[in-house]
């Protein structure tokens, strides 16, 4: 049994620093301050820093990123179709491979305190399965330091882009474990036709679903209601996520309460990316109070769609808190709960609550308390995955990708 002592860390703002004993990747004890230290194979000095769980990006697009490439000046776009056209053109111009670009992003996620990401990866005839294979290669290279869940994502639509449905089926088996969809009505033009395909493939392949839904207004309402109804009919409760789901941002009062209750009842998760732009803020506190699981993601990171994003989930948590107007410690910590725990739950990871029996998927930062960490966004001094130090001061350690790392 490998024992690591993570020494001199604080779990609360006012608490004295204590030592954490980690055995085989799991927190085995949190010692009282000043308690005698057990014999350990390794001692990691926490330096009096704050201990927090590592975070999860529940919605990102690493295959599209220009990370590490020269600056890209974005083209104006009037519609979702314009944005998609720009995206395809830019992806074809990039010189570094999907594996190289997404790999540099995955390394940055680890260095900045993430334990897992759900990656929506483009599947379309123009790309074939190249993007899925590239992200799968990058995920294999980052190894146990970061869990990477790949969603086969029909960015160009399914019905409007013949050949996509067959590629989606092939993508599951080439690295994807979740099936995506996109605006069945607004982009693909056939609500039932699109949903027939994705629900049919999900049942055939026994995979979860995660559908992008940008549409608002009446078009948004029709799609949300259809997805909730069909999720229950298919018995896919707990296995359906709606990404962005901007329609929920339209609602207030009893209309919001009714839809939130129906969403919780259908076991549908919502993934928000705290994106800028008018009227895009989901009513996260109200949704969570109604029992809806809400996860946080980055969406596109420095790609053709947006110059923003940085594979830093502490920063993304800051953006969510800022967007929601969070001010009290409780309100800010609720955003951290979304980034740490709701995302982990969606990806099927064990809860990292800093308690005995929890995985030692943790980071150590220079901050007084969790709320201050979200506001100040420090670079983690240490990032541990399953008890191993995988990053220190922004750099991956050799242990990060060592194949011998024990998974929690
Ligand atoms: Zn997205």
- Ligand 1 centroid–CA 53 distance in Å is 25
Quick one: pLDDT at residue 408?
32
Do residues 102 and 200 share a domain? Answer: yes
Residue 240: other Cβ atoms inside 10 A: 24
Q: For the chain, what is the domain count?
A: 2
Question: Is 406 contained in some domain?
Answer: no
Enclosing domain of residue 17? 3-53+352-401
Residue 315: both structure tokens together:
């920063």
- Ligand 1 centroid–CA 184 distance in Å is 15
> What DSSP letter does each residue of 139-192 carry, written as one string?
HHHHGGGSEEEEEEE-TT-SSSSTTHHHHHHHHBTTTB-EEEEE-TTTTTS-HH
Quick one: pLDDT at residue 15?
74
Quick one: pLDDT at residue 404?
43
Quick one: pLDDT at residue 13?
62
Looking up residue 211, the CATH number of its domain turns out to be 3.20.20.140
Quick one: pLDDT at residue 403?
55
Looking up residue 39, the CATH number of its domain turns out to be 2.30.40.10
Which of 300, 318, 346 is a domain's end point? Answer: 346
Distance CA 9, CA 377 (A): 18
Quick one: pLDDT at residue 407?
37
- Angle in degrees, CA 155, 89, 93, rounded to 5: 125
Question: Is 145 contained in some domain?
Answer: yes
CA nearest neighbour of 119 among 136, 104, 101 = 136
- Ligand 1 centroid–CA 212 distance in Å is 6
- Ligand 1 centroid–CA 221 distance in Å is 19
Low-confidence ranges of the chain (pLDDT < 70): 13-14, 278, 403-408
- Ligand 1 centroid–CA 38 distance in Å is 47
Question: Is 38 contained in some domain?
Answer: yes
Quick one: pLDDT at residue 405?
41
Give the three-state DSSP class for 277.
coil
Do residues 194 and 273 share a domain? Answer: yes
- Report DSSP state, residue 339: I
């Amino acid at each position: 049994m490998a024992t690591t002592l993570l020494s001199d860390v604080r779990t609360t703002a006012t608490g004295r620093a204590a030592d954490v004993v980690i055995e085989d990747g799991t927190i085995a004890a949190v010692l009282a301050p000043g308690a005698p230290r057990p014999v350990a194979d390794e001692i990691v000095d926490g330096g009096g820093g704050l201990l927090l769980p590592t975070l999860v990006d529940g919605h990102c697009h690493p295959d599209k990123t220009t990370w590490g490439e020269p600056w890209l000046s974005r083209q104006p776009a009037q519609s979702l179709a314009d944005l998609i056209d720009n995206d395809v053109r830019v992806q074809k111009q990039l010189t570094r491979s999907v594996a190289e670009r997404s790999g540099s992003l995955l390394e940055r996620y680890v260095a900045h305190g993430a334990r897992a990401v759900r990656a929506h990866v483009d599947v379309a005839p123009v790309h074939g399965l190249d993007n899925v294979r590239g992200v799968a290669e990058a995920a294999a290279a980052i190894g146990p330091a970061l869990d990477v869940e790949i969603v086969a994502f029909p960015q160009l639509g399914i019905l409007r882009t013949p050949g996509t449905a067959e590629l989606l089926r092939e993508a599951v088996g080439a690295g994807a474990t979740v099936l995506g969809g996109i605006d069945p009505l607004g982009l693909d033009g056939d609500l039932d036709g699109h949903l027939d395909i994705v629900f049919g493939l999900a049942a055939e392949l026994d995979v979860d679903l995660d559908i992008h839904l940008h549409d608002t207004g009446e078009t948004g309402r029709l799609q949300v209601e259809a997805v909730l109804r069909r999720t229950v009919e298919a018995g896919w409760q707990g296995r359906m996520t709606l990404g962005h789901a901007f329609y929920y941002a339209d609602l207030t009062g009893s209309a919001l309460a009714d839809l939130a209750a129906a969403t919780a009842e259908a076991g549908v998760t919502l993934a928000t990316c705290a994106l800028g732009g008018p009227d895009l803020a989901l009513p996260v506190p109200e949704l969570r109070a109604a029992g809806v699981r809400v996860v946080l993601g980055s969406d596109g990171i420095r790609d053709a769609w947006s110059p923003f994003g940085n594979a830093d989930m502490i920063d993304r948590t800051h953006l969510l808190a800022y967007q929601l107007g969070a001010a009290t410690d409780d309100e800010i910590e609720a955003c951290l709960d979304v980034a740490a725990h709701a995302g982990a739950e969606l990806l099927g990871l064990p809860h990292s609550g800093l308690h005995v029996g929890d995985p030692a998927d943790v980071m150590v930062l220079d901050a007084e308390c969790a709320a201050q960490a979200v506001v100040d966004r420090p670079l983690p001094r240490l990032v541990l995955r399953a008890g191993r130090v995988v990053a220190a001061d922004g750099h991956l350690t050799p242990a990060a990708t060592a194949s011998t790392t024990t998974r929690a």
